[in-house]
Structure 1
Amino acid sequence: MSSLTGPAEFGAGTAGGRFAAVGDVLALTGRHLRHLRRTPEKLIAVALTPVAMVVILGYLFASVITIKNSGGVEYHDYVMAGVFAQIGLTCIGITALGVASDMGKGLIDRFRSLPMARSSVLVSHTAADLVPVAISMVAVGGIGLLVGWRTDAGPLPILGGFALLLAFAYAMLWLGALLGMVLRNMEAINGISALALVILSFMSNSFMPLSGLPGWLRTAVEWNPVSTVSEACRVLWGNAPASSGGSLPMEHPVLVSAITVGALIAVLIPVALRTFRTAAVR
């Protein structure tokens, strides 16, 4: 652990201080993972909605939904990228509830009384929450294969798609941490996170192409990060329809989604850490 007079922020100060901060993160991440093992319902909560969407959309509705100008892409192939992206949205509420619960129980205050880097509390929380995200993606991918999902790409593009999904989920974890610190009320967190899940999922191309939308609405939906991440994965996996439209995010979804996710992470992490410093001393 770092000394009481050591750096208060992750990555700040001397090399020894940075090493101590990394040790703090690893110790707290291990604590969260042990807690996850004792509360598997958290993993179920992350995976339940996406798995249900695979079964409902990819299996039950696939026979009655067709995609215009699909270029041979079946609906269950099209919808899988959107379902994977939905996992990241599900994490907003999970992480927000966890952070709010820790603050309400005084656990954050006890951590702050220890000689450790303050930022390690949130860094470890988001790092540990990324584990159920990865496990959920494996589960959703397995169910998708059972209902007929196939990719038409090499190993590197497939791995690139999943790396993008994990990066998007990591950004949403930090959004959830920020939401938990700002709201702190469990009912409010449940309501807002559920609303975000519905709006960002269905105001995107996760489950249906955008060709039928009016111009003004289509532009807004195309720039939705969920749309660009979903389309990028379709392109990388060979699941994209023949024509995706002429807009920048749909013509270059991999580039746009990489920039967007990177910008979200670059903004959300410092904002969340700054909010943590002020929220913890109220």
Structure 2
Amino acid sequence: MGIHPTAIIESGAQLHPSVQVGAYSIIERGAVIGPGCVIESCVRIYGATRMGRDNRIGHGATIGAEPQDLGYRPELSKPLTIGDCNHFKEGVNISRGIKTNQGTRIGDHNFLMAYAHIGHDCTVGDYNIFANTATLAGHAEVENQVFLSGQTAVHQFCRIGAVSMIAGVTGVPQDVPPFVIADGHRARIIGLNLVGLRRNGYTQAQRSTIKAVYRVIFRSGLRQAAALAKAERDYPSPQTRQIARFIESSRRGVISFA
């Protein structure tokens, strides 16, 4: 495929020779595109973008756009850094950073369906799936192996824990701890993400431990610190520590059971 003759590659953009660029796409000066990337038609890649290898960018996506922040000025621009083997479908919009030195960061093997949005200064890990129009406001954090269903809206500064799932048309106002399913107009925990846990290799014993830990934290009637201490004492495991550290480090608070 190579580079389509209608594409515009500004002087100063760095593209590996193996990169493919479709019709009417624009890649600004300063952008860095790694080997094996496929840029489809009518894509705009802004100059603050640093992209690894084997990424695929769908028709009409805007990558590294100016933040949707009223305080943005060009001199405040921070980078958008994208890892390897991500697939961004049609109309995906990802903002560069503005308020943190690292800017916006996306890891490896993520799949963003049509019109998903990642706001400025967000951090997204690996192997996550964003269904159509799933949206992260600025400074949100998504760990690994998360599924965000269609029309999910995550409030700024919220965190989504690993191997969790957010149901469609859900607003997320606080942190979602690992391994759960969240649903509702304002997200509440409705159970464990058992399908996701199985698919990611968690054993029956591990799943049972996670269930017991959440029962202690949310159903024991203990205050949070005491409940976390009891969970770690009664059910020592890497998953218990992961849940406890996530909750202890929360700044916005953690959603509870419905």
Please state which band the TM-score falls in when normalised by the shorter chain. under 0.3
What TM-score, normalized to structure 1? Answer: 0.25
More strand by share: 2
